[in-house]
Structure 1
Amino acid sequence: MAAAEPPVRYGILGCANIARKMWRAILLSGNSTVVAVGSRSLAKAEAFAKENGFPGSARAYGSYDAVIDDPDVDAVYIPLPTSLHRRWAALAAEKKKHVLLEKPVALNVAELDEILAACRVNGVQYMDATMWMHHPRTAAIAAALSDRCRFGQLKAVHIIYSHNCGPDFLKNDIRVKPDLDALGALGDAGWYCIRAILWAYDYNLPTTVVALPNTEFNEAGVILSCGASLQYPDNKMTTFYCSFLANLTMEVNFLGTDGYIRFNDFVIPFEEKVTHFYEHANTRFGELATSIEPLPTKHVVRSDLPQEVLMVKEFSNLVQKIDRGGEKSEKKWEIISRKTQLVMDAVKTSIDKGFVAVEVEE
């Protein structure tokens, strides 16, 4: 019987709340462990490690440099404010650490290109932390979308992701601070919407993007809510809305010539181990238009592990193939990230220029 692969050893840069969720994911993954956590304050790093039950062998550091300089760290998870991503992700790659980067991954595509170049030159794996992509439901929906007999051709995509976190969030959270996360709701929530649109269109870029009027800003000029229309060939209709000012909503609608698919918890499932989506196929009005036929099908998708755990497992598998198998890094994740960033940049440019149409070019 072959010996089990040693776990991938993670260092975490920062003590953001999302890092607590990722530590749990690493713990449950079965092929990973945490060996270090760093903060700008040693006391904060030590408290974070203690409060979250890190292994006794895990080291707490009072700087991010110390984590990426630790020879026992194979990979880093970076949940820092977006304005810090370019520096620390590129530096981690230069120190031969694999990079799992929280979204939004950069303030613009030029910054992301620096990160990706550092990862390529140093032969390390890059992945953004868009967790829903790793859930088995995502694969099930992809199969339903590709069924030409039931769904037909994709004609429209409409997505909403909003969460109203209250006045304290709107005043104090890093996601509303121009020097930390200047993209605001577009970066935090819009990233998910744009990624889902690209995913539905097999990662083909739209030709143009037009931000919708009535974008809302805070006093510092950070986006609190916005929407956009993405133009694709063949008269496809695509829109999204993202917001920090509206009730928690995670709605996705895919409309085909012969079918319709919808689900309303695409970012974070309502339940960790049981998810669903609804599929309408060849739908017609019933007699006297008092019903529809056939009724939609509810597809239930179960998973023994949460989506963030599946993401960590996949990332760690790729790391193991590089570090222990001599393989090259998987490039699809940097391609997908870059396309998402390009569209997000175009939306931001459209907003800044008064809601004009902006061409999207690679």
Structure 2
Amino acid sequence: MAEPSILPINLGILGCAGIGKKLCRAINLIPDHATLAAIASRSPDKAAHFAAANNFPLTAKVFNSYDAVLNHPDIDAVYIPLPTSLHLKYAVLAAHNKKHLLLEKPVAMNVGELDTIIEACEDNGLQFMDGTMWMHHPRTTVMREFLSDSQHFGDLKSITSCFTFAANPNFLENDIRTKPDLDGLGALGDVGWYCIRSILWATNFELPKFVIALPGPVLNKAGVILTCSASLHWEDGKVATIHCSFLENLTMDVTVIGTKGTLHMNDFVVPYDENKASFCTATGSVLNGLETGWKTEPKNHTVVTDLPQECLLVREFSRLVSNIKNNGAQPEKKWPAISRKTQLTLDAVKESLHNGFKKVEIVN
């Protein structure tokens, strides 16, 4: 049977957010999959400058309103990197205008908003995907093979995930991620999203039974989270810990521990090198007889990729959209389901943090 035809999609971008530059570069690296077809900003000059600076083709449309992109008949899909508080409005408008949706994380202010977005996409037969790029790196697939190996990893018991960076004073004062009316989830929604996603990924997206935010969070004067930690708990005894912060040195660590093996990753969100990514594993680890060293050292593994992970995200999203548009395929449901589980867990951590660090059960 012949493979279904996959044609490039026309993608429009709402807003000129800094992270959008990364996506533009990715699209320009894979022109057979997607085209930068439109950019919108409330400032026409800003949109035009963004298009020029990010190598939009001369055929691309430059609009001074988001609605203009959403109403344009030639746009197949939109990427929305707007402040999280605006996601509900424009994601639903996009769906009602039959635009497939690539939505930057955190995808919504809460799971109720996300459910409205997902329902709008489902009602219109549209693909939904969030912008968590590391999920699409081939390293992620290789690591899954180790975690699924009962002989070398065993049964999953615990996970620790940490993503921090030391923001400068200007960021802490002016960035949208520190403003309650823009990205009010703060560090939890920004870097904490990745921590939660990594933990859910390690559990094969089994939701925890409950979460408990840990004492000691740091909030700014407006009440936005700058640093927080939480523990996650499963019915079978698995436990996990997240730590996220805008106030600490850049760290992107994940450790997954089983009954027989351990997996370590030190750059899980952004690999040290975009052309390759590493992780290490250990099985049956013991100390030597005198306990002066390890009898068996962990093994390092490197996974090479022809394309950066953001290109792989765009390629997969474009493949799904093109298959729906040109071949009558159905949207892939796993991506909105994964986003929803991440948002549910994030919501529970936030609720616990703001309610005296009480246990918050998660109901799917």
The TM-score normalised by the length of structure 1 is 0.98
For the residue of structure 2 that corresponds to 1:224, the secondary structure is strand
Q: 1-side partners of 2:351 and 2:257: how far apart?
A: 28
- Deviation, structure 1 residue 4: 6.9
2:257 alignment partner in structure 1: 255
Deviations 1:33-61 (A, max 9, x none): 11100011111111111122211111110
Q: 2-side partners of 1:139 and 1:217: how far apart?
A: 36
Q: 1:59 to 1:187 in 2, by over 3 A?
A: same
Deviations 1:57-86 (A, max 9, x none): 111100100111111110000000000000
1:11 alignment partner in structure 2: 12
Query: Is the CA contact 2:180–2:223 (under 8 Å) kept in the aligned structure 1?
Result: yes
Unmatched tracts of structure 1, length 5 or more: none
For the residue of structure 2 that corresponds to 1:335, the secondary structure is helix
Question: Among residues 245, 248, 267, which one is paired with 2:247 in the alignment?
Answer: 245
1:186 alignment partner in structure 2: 188
- Deviation, structure 1 residue 141: 0.5
1:23 alignment partner in structure 2: 24
Amino acid at match of 1:337: S
1:42 paired with 2:34, answer no
Deviations 1:58-117 (A, max 9, x none): 111001001111111100000000000000011001100000000000000000011001
Deviations 1:302-337 (A, max 9, x none): 001000000000000000110000011111111111
For the residue of structure 1 that corresponds to 2:290, the secondary structure is helix
Q: CA RMSD, aligned part only?
A: 1.3
Unmatched tracts of structure 2, length 5 or more: none
- Deviation, structure 1 residue 3: 11
1:33 alignment partner in structure 2: 35
1:76 paired with 2:78, answer yes
- Deviation, structure 1 residue 235: 2.2
Q: 1:334 to 1:5 in 2, by over 3 A?
A: closer
2:59 alignment partner in structure 1: 57
Q: How much identity, in percent, do the aligned residues show?
A: 53
- Deviation, structure 1 residue 2: 9.5
For the residue of structure 1 that corresponds to 2:10, the secondary structure is strand
Q: 2-side partners of 1:326 and 1:237: how far apart?
A: 42
Deviations 1:255-286 (A, max 9, x none): 11111110110001011001100101111111
- Deviation, structure 1 residue 293: 2.1
1:274 alignment partner in structure 2: 276
1:88 paired with 2:52, answer no
The TM-score normalised by the length of structure 2 is 0.98
For the residue of structure 2 that corresponds to 1:181, the secondary structure is coil
Q: 1-side partners of 2:300 and 2:268: how far apart?
A: 15
1:97 paired with 2:99, answer yes
1:286 alignment partner in structure 2: 288
For the residue of structure 2 that corresponds to 1:220, the secondary structure is coil
